[in-house]
Amino acid sequence: MVIKSFKHQIPQISYLVKKKLWAQVLVGLFLGLLLGLVLGPEAGIVDKDTSGIITTWLSIPAHLFLKIIQMIIVPLIFASIIRGLLSAGSVEQLRTMGISVAAFFVITTVIALGIGVFVATTIVPGNFVDSEAMLSSLEIDETEQLVENIEFNFLDIPQHIIGIIPSNPLTSFMSGEMLSIIIFALFVAIAMISLPKKKSESITDLLESIQEITMKVVSWAMRLAPLAAFGLMADIVSKVGLDALVGLGAYMGTVVIGLFIMMLAYIVIIKVFARRPIISTLKMMKDPLLLAFSTSSSAAVMPVSLKTAEEKMKVKPAVSQFVIPLGATINMNGTALYQIVAVFFLAQLFSIELGATTIILIAVTALMASIGAPSAPGAGIVILSSILLAAGVPVIGIVLLLGVDRILDMTRTMVNVSGDLTACLVFNKRIKAEHIPKS
């Protein structure tokens, strides 16, 4: 009976793998996990140098995938934001939507920070780890250099704030400064809305063509996604190994629990404010969420998020093309939550008491640091460094977290992308905007 039932499922499984991106990514992740264990130090089958060579070759599809996305992400964001803002129809509607979306992102980030404080103080992950053994493994020389670089960047924050408005937009485009690009797109969109429609019509048509071209390139890149997931997972597991994962299991578990609670908060928002059915909505989200998990980059997932929002969730382009590019740049709730847990975990390891004033300072710093954070793999570690400095926690503790950061990065990116899609559903319900007219 069991064999018959299994045979009955084979055609369905085959269909999912061949036709569904999310199923292909899942298979890639699972096979990558198995291969990573075989190539890892625990198995002892392959020596470290040979394992490194193999995983370097296996990672080629992942690097190609990310390079292709990075190649077209700037024109896609620029075109999408302007077209989304133009769909608002008027400066007044644009102002209303912009303020509302920004307020939503700030409120949900504050919720994420509160959840992070709650789980970190309730579970106290630092108590589950042998702090002496952990601290003895720190590489002081390497970390002192890291602290020096971070302090320089931290002191440069006022200059970075001034530099948000680009003095040379072409430079921002070439260097991929997403926040500056969004600001420039905002100015261009407001100017186009203020002009008679005839004078801006040709630019609107050009932006539509740019968007369609970039989405076509993305569709080609998506064919590499399952192979990218396979190579990345094999690389991570072979290098990190199971011992490191188990040793920091309490810390990782605390972060994952916090992220799960944040996902529940999004589910409540979807149900109460967007008034959407939970199960079917989550099914619609599965492609971008699995891609977020496999790539650890909100920017890389943005084209798929746009397609999912407009084609599956039936979100108006006026909303999706404004909210998702903006969210990929400033809506980092999963990252902010992870940072709070990491700060508390390291403070517990170093036996540092965090008072109420310090916790508030940490939360404010995390909130500000998460806005405009690079939507790329590993960006959370850089932001975490500035928060540790504000909290008075030794930055050298970051070395302890580097081994498992990529796995947590994959998880928190899923939450970041969930926040963008949730915002789309909320504002699609609230804001009355027409679809962008086709040429």
Dump the DSSP string for 4-72. HHHHHHHHHHHHHHHH-HHHHHHHHHHHHHHHHHHHSTTT-SS-HHHHHHHHHHHTHHHHHHHHHHHHH
pTM (predicted TM-score): 0.68
Asked if residue 378 is part of any domain, the answer here is: yes
What pLDDT, on the 0 to 100 scale, is given for residue 349? 82
Cα 8 from chain centroid (whole Å):
38
At residue 6, the pLDDT reads 36
Determine, yes or no, domain membership for 435. no
- Distance (Å, rounded) from C-alpha 346 to C-alpha 159? 29
In sequence order, what are the residues at sequence separation of 6 or more whose Cβ sits closer than 8 angstroms to the Cβ of residue 87? 316, 317, 318, 321, 322, 433, 434, 435, 436
Task: Determine, yes or no, domain membership for 11.
Answer: yes
Does 439 reside within a domain? no
Nearest to 285 by CA among 109, 424, 85: 424
Q: Tell me how far apart the alpha carbons of residues 85 and 141 are, in angstroms, rounded to a whole number.
A: 49
Element (H, E) at 375: none
219 belongs to a structural domain: yes
Q: pLDDT of the chain along its 439 residues, tens only?
A: 444 443 444 454 454 445 566 677 778 878 888 888 888 777 778 887 888 888 888 888 888 877 787 787 778 778 877 876 676 566 666 677 778 888 898 899 899 999 999 999 999 888 877 666 555 545 434 344 344 444 434 455 566 566 667 788 888 777 766 667 777 888 888 888 888 878 888 888 888 888 788 877 877 877 787 888 788 778 877 876 666 566 678 888 999 999 999 999 999 999 999 999 999 999 999 889 988 887 777 777 888 898 899 999 999 888 888 888 878 777 888 988 998 999 899 888 888 888 787 788 777 777 766 655 545 555 566 567 667 776 777 776 776 676 677 778 888 889 999 999 999 999 988 765 444 444 3
Q: Environment class of residue 202 by beta-carbon count within 10 Å: exposed (0-12), middle (13-18) or buried (19+)?
A: exposed
Task: Tell the burial category of 352 from Cβ atoms under 10 Å away from its Cβ (0-12, 13-18, 19+).
Answer: middle
**Which of 222, 233, 228, 251 is closest to 406 using CA atoms?**
233
- Identify whether 52 is part of a domain: yes
> Measured between alpha carbons, how far is 267 from 245 in angstroms, rounded to an integer?
29
Q: Rounded CA gap, 311 and 298, in Å?
A: 19
Q: What is the domain count for the chain?
A: 1
CA distance 103 to 109: 10
Cα distances from 341 to residues 114, 387, 405, in angstroms, run: 10, 11, 13
pLDDT, residue 196, reads 82
| C-alpha dihedral sign at 424, 288, 183, 388 | positive
Angle at 383 between CA 382 and CA 386, to 5 degrees: 100
Could you tell me if 227 and 63 are in contact, meaning their C-beta atoms sit under 8 angstroms apart?
no
User: For position 374, which CATH number holds?
Assistant: 1.10.3860.10
The tokens describing 436, both together, are: 């962008």
Domain residue limits at 297: 2-430
First-to-final CA distance of the chain? 58
3-state secondary structure of 96: helix
Q: How many CB atoms lie within 10 A of CB 110?
A: 15
In a domain, 415, yes or no: yes
Is 107 part of any domain? yes
